[in-house]
Structure formats: structure tokens, C-alpha cells
Amino acid sequence: MANLDKSIEEEILEIFEKYQKENTKLLNYLITDDTITFFSPVANGSQITAEDLQKVADILNGSFEGMEIVNQEYRFKFKCGL
């Protein structure tokens, strides 16, 4: 299983943690080929803005592919150019 570089994880977590409950600091993701899917429980907080999704895509040198809600969690998919 592949992981993102720690500095990239920290940059992305800084964006995602604004939308999580206080003191949560949770970054769950899955990398498959050139796609990265981030998971965030619906109960964790509010949905992320389009502007912040674009910031994440820029960090990944990729593009935002879409969002869906599955089993009480948000799933954000990005094509990655790292």
C-alpha cells in the first residue's frame, strides 16, 4: 500500500481539518494507480468547499474528479500527477 509523502499529508490535513470536529485531525485515504480517494465521515463535520478541493488538487498536481457519499462518509476522488 502506497502512502503520500508526510509533508504532502500535512498540507492536505491542514485543509481537511477545518471541516472536521474540533481536535479530530483525521486523514484517511486510498491510492489506486493514479487516483487518490480521501474519506471523511459525514458525522465529522461539514462538507468541504470547491475552493479547498481545488487547493488539494493543486497540492497533488492533479485534478478533482468528484465526490460521493457512501456508507455515511464523504469520498473525494482526485487524479494525481505526483
Q: What is the pLDDT of residue 82?
A: 64
pLDDT (tens digit, 9 = 90+) per residue, 18-41?
Answer: 887 777 778 889 999 889 999 887
Crossing angle between the packed helical segments 6-16 and 50-59, to the nearest 10 degrees: 180
pTM listed for this prediction: 0.85
Per-residue pLDDT at 71 exceeds 70: yes
Per-residue pLDDT at 1 exceeds 60: no
pLDDT band, residue 58 (cuts 50/70/90): very high
- Report which of 72, 81, 74, 59 is spatially closest to residue 19, judged by C-alpha positions: 74
Instruction: Provide the edge-to-edge strand list for the sheet that holds 28-32.
Output: 28-32, 35-41, 73-79, 63-70
pLDDT band, residue 2 (cuts 50/70/90): confident
